């Protein structure tokens, strides 16, 4: 009787992993990012028509544009869905590879905030990476805002009693 490997024992009754080793997964991840990066490729370009009105084509080398790095795109390129990719990340042996790929996608989205149109990147960062818009309102030198018409003596008495004065976003003029 043949001895089973730990991987085979884990998959007993469940679906076997698509990637049998970390190296296999790493190679597939590298291929995804390489395909997203600008690279040269051959493309057929229409060059005109012949005497019988047939279109003529010429093979031409072109430089592709950068494609965004996305977790969904990574999962698709790996032939799995996002949930399966999350499950790979939960496995100790694949954690480093998947975490590094996630970090690269996150870094790409963050870098897009400095481009011409940051709206899509901001949306992705908020919905996929837990970023939040936050507005902090403070007075001069980080002090709390002074409510309109409330002088410092009244404010001091309220604070002594443990009361919190109402806060407005308008300048108190002090």
**pLDDT at residue number 37:** 96
Is the pLDDT assigned to residue 27 strictly greater than 80?
yes
pLDDT class of 169 with cuts at 50, 70, 90: low
pLDDT tens-digit readout, 74-109: 999 999 999 999 999 999 999 999 999 999 999 999
**pLDDT at residue number 136:** 75
Instruction: Select from 20, 22, 41 the least CA-distant residue to 30.
Output: 22
Instruction: Of 74-83, 86-95, 126-135, 157-166, give the lowest mean pLDDT range.
Output: 157-166
Greater pLDDT, 77 or 129: 77
The reply to whether the predicted model has a pTM over 0.95 is: no
Average pLDDT of span 114-142: 85
């Amino acid at each position: 009787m043949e001895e089973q490997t730990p991987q085979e024992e884990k998959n007993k009754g469940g679906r076997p992993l698509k990637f049998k080793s970390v190296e296999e997964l790493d190679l597939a991840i590298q291929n995804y990012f390489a395909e997203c990066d600008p690279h040269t490729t051959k493309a057929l370009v229409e060059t005109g028509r012949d005497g019988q009105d047939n279109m003529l084509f010429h093979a031409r080398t072109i430089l592709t544009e950068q494609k965004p790095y996305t977790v969904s795109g990574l999962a698709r390129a790996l032939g799995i869905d996002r949930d399966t990719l999350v499950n790979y990340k939960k496995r100790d042996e694949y954690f480093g590879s998947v975490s590094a790929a996630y970090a690269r996608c996150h870094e790409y989205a963050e870098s897009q905030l400095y481009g011409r149109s940051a709206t899509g990147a901001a949306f992705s960062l908020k919905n996929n990476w837990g970023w939040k818009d936050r507005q902090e309102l403070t007075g001069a030198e980080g002090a709390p805002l002074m409510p309109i018409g409330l002088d410092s003596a009244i404010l001091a008495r309220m604070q002594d009693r443990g009361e919190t004065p109402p806060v407005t976003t308008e300048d108190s003029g002090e």
